[in-house]
Amino acid sequence: MSQPDRPRLELTLVRHGETAWNAVRRIQGSIEIGLNPTGQAQAAAIAQALARRHADHPGGRFHRLISSDQIRAAQTAAAIAEATGLELTFDPQLRERRYGVFEGHAYDEIESRWPEDWARWQNRDPAWGPPEGETLSGFDARVRGWLDRTAAESGQPGSVTGEPFRVIAVTHGGVLDMAFRRAAGLTLLAPRQHQTLNAARNVLALANDTWEVVVWADTDHLTQPADDL
C-alpha cells in the first residue's frame, strides 16, 4: 500500500482578535479598528498556544510569520511574534475585502439603505461588489493568488525530517472564507457553513498541489484557564 503524500506546506491561518465593531456586527473592511480588551486577551491566548507548538515540538516549529498590515491583524500578529520569537512581515494581500459604502454600517442599516445590494451580497453574486468596493470574484482571485505565491515561496520539506514548511498568517474573516473554499473545493455560491472565528486556529496543508483542511475553528486555547496557557 502506498503511503500518503506528505504535505510540503502547512499553513496556520489566524483571524485577528475581536474589535468593538466585531462585537456589534459593524462592517470594517478597509477601516482601521484596533482590538478591544477581549480581542487583546484573545491575541495573547492564540500567541501562547502557537508558542507552545513552536517550542515543544521539534518537528512542528514554525518557519514564517506573515500578517495583514491592517491594525487589528497587526496587533494580533505582534503578540504572536513576541511569544514565538518569529520575525513578523506584512503583506497587504492579506487585507480584508473592501466593502466600499458598506463600511462603518451595521448589517441592519445596510439592508435598509441598500436593499438591492444587500440581496446580491446575501446571494453571494460573484460579479457583485458593494458600491466603491471589491467584487467577490476579485476578492477570491486575490486570496487564491496569495495562496499560490505562498506555496511557491515556501520551498520543500526538510531533506532529513520530511517536515513541511510551516507558515502562520494573521488575517481577516473574509480571507479565511476564501481560503477554506479553496481547500474544501467549495464554490463562491455555496452557502457559508464554516465558521471564521476571532483568534481561532485554522490549518490547511498542501501536498501534491492539492490543499486540504486539517483543523478549522479551533478555539480550545481561548477557553483554557490563564495558568494553563
Per the structure block, which three cell numbers stand in for 34?
Answer: 484596533
| CA gap 76, 22 in Å, rounded | 15
57 a catalytic residue: no
| CA gap 168, 112 in Å, rounded | 39
Identity at 128, one-letter amino acid code: W
Alpha carbon 94 to its chain centroid, in Å, reads 8
What separation in angstroms does the CA of 110 have from each of 20, 99, 100, 217?
A: 18, 11, 12, 27
Candidate list 16, 54, 172, 221, residue with the active-site label: 16
Candidate list 10, 18, 96, 134, residue with the active-site label: 96
| CA gap 211, 205 in Å, rounded | 6
153 a catalytic residue: no
| CA gap 102, 132 in Å, rounded | 9
Just list the catalytic residues.
16, 96
